[in-house]
Every structure is written in C-alpha cells, then in structure tokens.
Amino acid sequence: MSAVTGHPTGHPTGHRRPAVGELAGDRRRSWPYPRTTLGVAAAAAVLVPFVLPPYPLYQVTLVLVYVVALLGLDLVAGHGGQVSLGHGAFFGIGAYAAAILLWLGVPYPVTLPVAGLVAYGLGHAFGRPAVRLSGVYLAVVTFAVAVAVPPLIRRFAPGGAMGLPVRTPGAPSFTGLADDQWVYLLVLAVAAAAFAVMRSVVRSRAGRSLAALRADPGAAELLGIRPAATRAHAFAGSAMYAGLAGCLFTWTTGFVAPESFTVNLSITLLAGIVIGGLGTVSGAVVGAVVVTFLPAPGLVSGLALILVLAVAPGGVTGLARRAPALFRKDGP
Amino acid sequence: MLEIGRLTVRFGGVTALDAVGLVAGQGELVGLIGPNGAGKSTLFDCVTRRRDPDDGMVLVAGQDVLGLPPHRVAACGIARTFQHPAVFPRLSVRENVMTGAHRFGAGGFWRAAFAWERERRLRARADEVLDLFGLLPLGDHPADGLPYGVLKRVEIARAVAAEPRLLLLDEPAGGLGPEEALALAGLIRDLHRATGMTVVVVEHHMEFVLGLCERLVCLDVGHKIADGPTYLVRRDPAVIAACLGAR
C-alpha cells in the first residue's frame, strides 16, 4: 500500500492561525513554555500559605475552589459547547452536603466524595433528559434547577435561611500548620487532582467525542459516538466538579447560606469561564480569579462578559495565547 | 456486501429515489454517477441511517442496516465521507483520525480518560493511516485552517481508520484540482487493493470515476438507468445523455 507521492502536504497554505509552535498552528504548542509555566505555578502555589497573611490566603483558597468549579463547567460549556445555568446550584448542593455532614459530626475527609457523588447523581438525573434535546433546553432545565435550589435549602436544610456555620478542617498537630494554611493545602491538592483528571479527560477519546459532537453531531454519530450518553456523562461529571468545589467552599468558609448559591452564582461562574477563556485549563484559572474578585457579581460580570465577547471571543487566555504572535515579524 | 432493494425516498411530492436496487459484491469498487439531484447522496444517507427511506431494504454483509441506530453503523463496518468534508475543526488532524477509530476505543466516558494503553495504540494506528495519506507531518495541526484538498484527505483517512468493510465516498474529488484528483484516485485504488474493502464512490468528476472504478451505476432523477462494467456504461446512450453529454 503505497502512499501518494509527489503530493505537497508538508507545507500547506491557507493558515488562519498565527504561526507559533513547532509546526505552525499546533495549538498545544501555542504557548511556548507549558512545562516551565506549570512548574513555576505549582511551586508558587505551594509557597503561598507561608507567605500570605490570613485574609489574602483565604481569597487565594477561594480562587482554587472556583478553579475546580470552572474546570467542570468548562467540560460542558467549553468542550461540549452547551450552556449550563445550573452550576451554581450544583455548587450549593455540594456545599450543603458537606456542611450537613460536618454538622452531623462526620469527619471532613468523608464529605468530599459524598458531595461529589450527590452532585454527580443529580447531574445525571437532570442532564440525561435535557441533553437529548437541543442545546437551549439544557440551559432552560439547568436554569430551573438554579432557581429551585435556594428556596429548597431555605425550607428544608438545617439552619434554614439563617445559614449553617460548621467547623472547618483543623490542621493535624504534627504538621505545625495553622488551620487556614492546612485548608489551603487541602484545597490545592484537590484542585491539582481535578486539574490532572480533567486534562486527561479532554485529551482522551471522551474529549474528542465531545468536540466531534459539538462540531458535527451527524458525522460524529456515524463514527459510533453516542450523542446523548456522551453529553450526559460530560454534564454529570461537570456537575460533580461543581459539587466538589462546593464542598471545598464549605471547608474554606465554614459557613453556608442559601443566598450564596442563587442564580447569580451560576451566571457569575458562566461569565467567569467565558471571560477566562473557554476550552482551556488556564481559562478556568483566570476565570476563577475573576469570579473571586469581581466587586459586584451580576451587573459587573454581565458587562465584563459582553465586553469580552465583543473584543476577545477567546477570553483572556485567548488573548494571551495570541500575544507571542504579535511580537513576531510575520505575526498577523 | 451491500445489497439495496427497492429503495424509495420521497420528499413531499418529489420522489428522490424510486425503487432503486443496487448490489455491490465483496471487494468491489463501484462508481455511482448521475447528474445533480439524481439521488446519489440520498442513497448514501439511507445506508448510513441519516435518513429513513419510505420503502425498501438495505443489507450490509447480510445485516439489516435500517433497524440500526446511527451510532451502530460504524460497528456494522460502514464508513462514509461527506460532500463537504465534515472534519472536526477544533481537533488536530491526528485527533480527527483517532475519532474515526472511536469504535476500537475503551468503553465508557470516564474509563476512556485513563485507558492510556488503548489510547497509545489508537494513536499508533492513526499515525499509520496518516502516513498512508501523506498527512503525518500535519498530525498536530488543527483541522481548522487547512486547505480544502487536505481536509478531503483527512476525512477519507478518518473513515479508513474505522476499518470499514464498506466505504462510501461522497464526491471525494469535488473541489480538487486535476492533479490532486489524480493522486487521490491512485490512493483510493491502492487502499482498495490492499484492504479488500468494498468501496462505493459518488462522483461528478467523470474522468475520476472512469479511471478508478471497474463498475458504474448511473442514477437519473431517482431511477437507475444503467449498471454494468465501466467500458459498457460509458457508451450507454442514456448515460451519455444524462451525465456525459451535459459536459
């Protein structure tokens, strides 16, 4: 079986992307120093609790909490190309699951898997019927979930509208760490694991299936990809990430209240991932910073969302990714 | 390998396919020709379950295809390409081809993420196919932004990666220059010889099919007007009037 010879394929023409990587346009090499960046970021992340005073440390911990939520949301929004307005609710469900278990005196390590599983199960329950229908239905169904959850919490959860204060995880005495440093390191470990898992999911057959379904469901289905099942698993996994993030939120703040998990949170999360950049892990990090530090969630994040969509559809990450090309002679 | 009987498709009042029969034996390379609107792509759509025919039957390797859901079509050994290449723009060329081999991948959504060994084998297999199509240097390039001719080849490579028994090519030479088309015909012929799969090619480009296929089937407004060896069909007055004469 001989290949066609004398056919020029090595140097194609018609690039629309700026040439940056080893082969022009290789998106994985678009940022030139991925390993170095990751190594420096990891080292900095471990040093943070020993450098920062308590309140900034608390804020950075929250950033990591939102990173986990946005990594999950990005699986649906960035890779699947669908809109979920319910991730604030899954976040709240995870947070309350953890808080109620802590309130009942369950040791905190148990709360994380339980919060994740509860959100995963609910994600399946709501996602499975919704993803069978076209994209906008998922937005409507998840919006309904986001609207319904806070009143349910107010009515049925311990603490009611007043909220529920709980004990945050305490540092084991042998470590010699303060409690907030310990919580930070716990959250960092979970976020790092969440990051690694999500990276391998989106680079695997599962991630390819999602991208294929998004681009051309008909062609994807012919290759053996099951649209409903794939999207449902992605949505449930995404909800699970939101639930895990909610549990980390409870560990960090030691207080949950229904007002923290309204539709506003869902919209802020969605705005965060779009502003950060869809379909990239670094977009989740930038988005988490946005979610944590935006002064007035709602109006400001809405305006920021519009601004980003108007000037930089790739989000902040998309801008940064294009930046190296701007400094090249043959840039765009 | 492919047996189509009395296949009928109506769009409102228009009959796109009128009781068309077509049989392609194991390892045959059949050209399906006809003017625009003859029903060629509609026939492919029925075989690949994108469209439900109003009547008729489709068997592939003795299995009734019309009872299958679309995602089972690949497992049945059928792969196709589209008139306009349906490549996935956000995936790299290699990932596109690996998506073609989806059915050989590990089971569920979450298991797939940790099936490193399976993934490595898929990748190696995709690289073999890429090499065959001369696409290996472009493996990491996103499909988005590649020239049309390359996309056509990526799409065929993706279909071949599914290791089909029956390969349906919808206008593979459409939009290609004469040299590119010639090279592609050579590639399809080599592939067909090496794998022994059954290939059905829909094409407008007459030189392309005349040079490539041993057998031609001609459709015209939903009817089969000719079926036989290429050298006979190309001389058939009805075929000349419908397809060749128009040129």
Q: How far is A235 from chain B (nearest CA, A)?
A: 11
Residue A186 has pLDDT above 90, yes or no: yes
B120 interface with A at CB cutoff 8 Å: no
Encode pLDDT of B28-70 as tens digits.
999 998 888 888 888 999 999 988 889 989 999 888 988 888 9
Residue A3 has pLDDT above 60, yes or no: no
Of A7, A219, A227, the CB nearest to B183: A7
How many CB atoms lie under 10 A from the CB of residue A124? 17
Residue A229 has pLDDT above 80, yes or no: yes
A331 lies in some domain: no
**What is the share, in percent, of chain B residues with pLDDT greater than 90?**
29
CB spacing of A7 vs B180 below 8 angstroms: yes
- Domains contained in chain A, number: 1
Of B103, B140, B187, the CB nearest to A23: B140
Q: Provide mean pLDDT across the span A120-128.
A: 90
pLDDT bin (cut points 50, 70, 90) of residue A1 is very low
Contacts of A228 in chain B (CB under 8 A): none
A330 lies in some domain: no
Mutant choice from A198, A205, A235, A321 vs B, greatest count of B C-beta within 10 A = A205
Predicted confidence at residue B14, as pLDDT, reads 85
Q: What's the maximum distance between 2 C-alpha atoms anywhere in chain B?
A: 60
Predicted confidence at residue B37, as pLDDT, reads 80
B208 interface with A at CB cutoff 8 Å: no
* Superfamily of domain B1-77+165-247, CATH level 4: P-loop containing nucleotide triphosphate hydrolases (3.40.50.300)
Q: Provide mean pLDDT across the span A70-98.
A: 92
Predicted confidence at residue A296, as pLDDT, reads 61
Predicted confidence at residue A295, as pLDDT, reads 62
CB spacing of A223 vs B112 below 8 angstroms: no
- CA dist., res. B64 & res. B165, Å (int): 15
Q: Provide mean pLDDT across the span B149-156.
A: 91
Residue A241 has pLDDT above 60, yes or no: yes
CB spacing of A205 vs B134 below 8 angstroms: no
Mutant choice from A208, A230, A241 vs B, greatest count of B C-beta within 10 A = A208
Residue A72 has pLDDT above 80, yes or no: yes
Strands A255-256 and A164-165: antiparallel
Between the alpha carbon of residue B68 and those of residues A224, B2, B46, B55, B76, the distances in Å are: 12, 15, 11, 16, 9
CB spacing of A224 vs B103 below 8 angstroms: yes
pLDDT bin (cut points 50, 70, 90) of residue B245 is low
Contacts of A4 in chain B (CB under 8 A): 133-134, 183-184, 186-187
Of A4, A28, A211, the CB nearest to B186: A4
Predicted confidence at residue B62, as pLDDT, reads 87
Q: What is the mean pLDDT of chain B?
A: 88
CB spacing of B102 vs A205 below 8 angstroms: yes
Predicted confidence at residue B29, as pLDDT, reads 92
Encode pLDDT of A212-225 as tens digits.
998 898 899 999 99
Q: Provide mean pLDDT across the span B97-115.
A: 84
Among A9-23, A97-111, A125-139, the range scoring the smallest mean pLDDT is: A9-23
Predicted confidence at residue A325, as pLDDT, reads 57
Encode pLDDT of B206-243 as tens digits.
888 888 998 999 988 888 888 989 888 888 888 888 87
CATH code of residue A57: 1.10.3470
Tell me, letter by letter, the H, E, C secondary structure of chain B: CEEEEEEEEEECCEEEEEEEEEEECCCCEEEEECCCCCCHHHHHHHHCCCCCCCEEEEEECCEEHHHCCHHHCCCCCEEECCCCCCCCCCCEHHHHHHHHCHHHCCCCHHHHHHCHHHHHHHHHHHHHHHHHCCCHHHCCCECCCCCHHHHHHHHHHHHHHCCCCEEEEECCCCCCCHHHHHHHHHHHHHHHHHHCCEEEEECCCHHHHHHHCCEEEEEECCEEEEEEEHHHHCCCHHHHHHHHCCC
Of A3, A27, A233, the CB nearest to B134: A3
A&B contacts, CB < 8 Å:
164
B162 interface with A at CB cutoff 8 Å: yes
CB spacing of B71 vs A224 below 8 angstroms: yes
B44 interface with A at CB cutoff 8 Å: no
CB spacing of A208 vs B186 below 8 angstroms: no
B197 interface with A at CB cutoff 8 Å: no
A2 lies in some domain: no
Encode pLDDT of B167-195 as tens digits.
999 999 888 888 888 889 999 999 999 88
A44 lies in some domain: no
pLDDT bin (cut points 50, 70, 90) of residue A22 is very low
Mutant choice from B45, B47, B73, B90 vs A, greatest count of A C-beta within 10 A = B90
A26 lies in some domain: no
Domain spans in chain B, listed from the N-terminal domain onward: 1-77+165-247, 86-163
Q: What is the ipTM of this complex?
A: 0.89
B55 interface with A at CB cutoff 8 Å: no
Predicted confidence at residue A117, as pLDDT, reads 97
Contacts of B176 in chain A (CB under 8 A): none
Mutant choice from B68, B91, B92, B109 vs A, greatest count of A C-beta within 10 A = B109
A163 lies in some domain: yes
B88 interface with A at CB cutoff 8 Å: yes
pLDDT bin (cut points 50, 70, 90) of residue A30 is low
Of A10, A197, A227, the CB nearest to B137: A10
Residue A329 has pLDDT above 60, yes or no: no
**Domain of residue A71, residue span:** 51-316
